[in-house]
Amino acid sequence: MRFMARFDPIFQTALDHMADTHTRRVLRPVRHVGAATVIRNGRELVNFSSNDYLGLSHHPALHARAAEWLRQDGTGSGASRLVTGTSPRHMQVEARLAAFKGCEAAVILASGWQANASVLAALLRLAAGQGVPPLVFTDRLNHASLHQGCMAAGVRQIRFRHNDLDHLDSLLERHAGDARAMRVIVTESVFSMDGDRTDIARLGALARRHGAFTYVDEAHATGVLGPHGRGLCAGHEIDLVMGTFSKALGGFGAYVAGSRALCDWLINACSGFVFTTAPPPAVLGAMDAALELVPTLDEARARLARNADHIRGVIHDCGLSSGPSTTQIIPIMIGEAAHALAFAARLEAHGILATAIRPPTVPPNGSRIRLALSAAHTDSMVDQLARAITLAAREHA
């Protein structure tokens, strides 16, 4: 319809500005031909940009259970969980998930973004309803979905310096005056752009001392870190743990885990649960198989950690920085967006898919190549990445 293009000049001006600042995104399709390789423009590339940290997206156990549950129960769930969308499969996966996380209960949601944006908003609205606005302390580099949850609740964030628990402690002390206000600490256990981790033991102790509720996003730790892949919060007193099935667990969806009362309340109060169609059978089957498989993959996790240490060493030997990374997420810090795009193009020329991450996803002049290693990467693939980084660094210099 012609009238729908009336406002295109506004959109085009914005797009042109993004192009001028090297921050415009375009969709570049790939065909996945395994857990670690893709085809783009007819050329095979080793994929170092996927969050499939254990390679489970192509594991036969996940495929088989997803297909079995689809064949038995159909392609869709048909309704939200509170209408007719809850099946015995949902209850089975949530029970398995709660046992895996060592919690009383768990709730499945559609995506990580939806979980953070709607669960956190519901929690903060409840806290505000106690008569005094909550005090919400957030890491400056929290994922955008966590910031969205705070904005949706209409609360002001008290931001502490990234991963600086001394600064958080001082802010909690500074705001200790009104004992009636609920204190909520919101952070991630592994940060998706820097690959560094929070000291969860200290965070929990600090929260208990200040009487604060802890909300920790474990999206990039679940399956990879902690005892048997249970995440960094395992064994620690954290009030609410959020995570995803779409990364190391190889499927799709998200979850929150905590006390029975918390989860029962979310079923009633979280808009992202109440008003969303339930996850379908095939998705649930992949979830169930992943939760069964992940505790058995200690050797894969150890190999992933060794490879990450090796690649950080390669980056440093090239005179580049991998930032504060200590996990399977490894940034190559570049700075300017145009330079990051050029570095990514050089890696692709050497057979490596490694995406350039630019503002606003990262701070200004914080553009980088974000490497995401997987247990599915063979030794030869890791060696190919090391050679590609070395060659691209020489060309970059």
Reported as half-sphere exposure (CB side, CA atoms, 13 A), residue 18 has a value of 13
Task: Write b or e for each residue in 237-252: b if 16 or more Cβ atoms lie within 10 A of its Cβ, otherwise e.
Answer: ebbbbbbbbbbbbbbb
Identify any residues that bridge with 109 across adjacent strands, giving them in sequence order.
254
Q: Is 143 a catalytic residue?
A: yes
Q: Is 220 a catalytic residue?
A: yes
- Catalytic one of 192, 307, 367, 374: 192
| DSSP conformational letter for 355 | P
| DSSP conformational letter for 295 | G
- Single-letter code of the amino acid located at 304: L
Show the beta-strand stretches assigned E in 218-323.
Answer: 240-244, 254-258
Closest-CA residue to 233 (of 259, 214, 252, 255): 214
- Catalytic one of 188, 194, 218, 288: 188
Helix (H) or strand (E) holding 188: strand 183-188
Q: Determine the length of the chain.
A: 397
Ranges of H-type helices in 193-243: 200-210
- Catalytic one of 143, 147, 236, 377: 143
Longest Cα–Cα distance in the chain: 63
Reported as half-sphere exposure (CB side, CA atoms, 13 A), residue 62 has a value of 22
CA distances to 160, 172, 174, 227 from 136, in Å: 10, 10, 13, 29
**Is there a contact between 163 and 198 (Cβ–Cβ < 8 Å)?**
yes
- Catalytic one of 139, 196, 217, 218: 217
Q: Is 247 a catalytic residue?
A: yes
3-state helix, strand, coil in the chain (%, to 5): 45, 15, 35
- Catalytic one of 59, 101, 220, 350: 220
- Catalytic one of 47, 49, 50, 51: 51
Q: Is 188 a catalytic residue?
A: yes
Query: Cβ contacts of residue 204 below 8 Å, gap of 6+?
Result: 214, 236, 237, 238
**Is there a contact between 245 and 317 (Cβ–Cβ < 8 Å)?**
no
Q: What are the backbone angles phi and psi of residue 372, rounded to the nearest 5°?
A: -125, 110
- Single-letter code of the amino acid located at 46: V
CA distance 73 to 89: 10
- Catalytic one of 247, 288, 367, 377: 247
Q: Which residues are catalytic?
A: 51, 143, 188, 192, 217, 220, 247
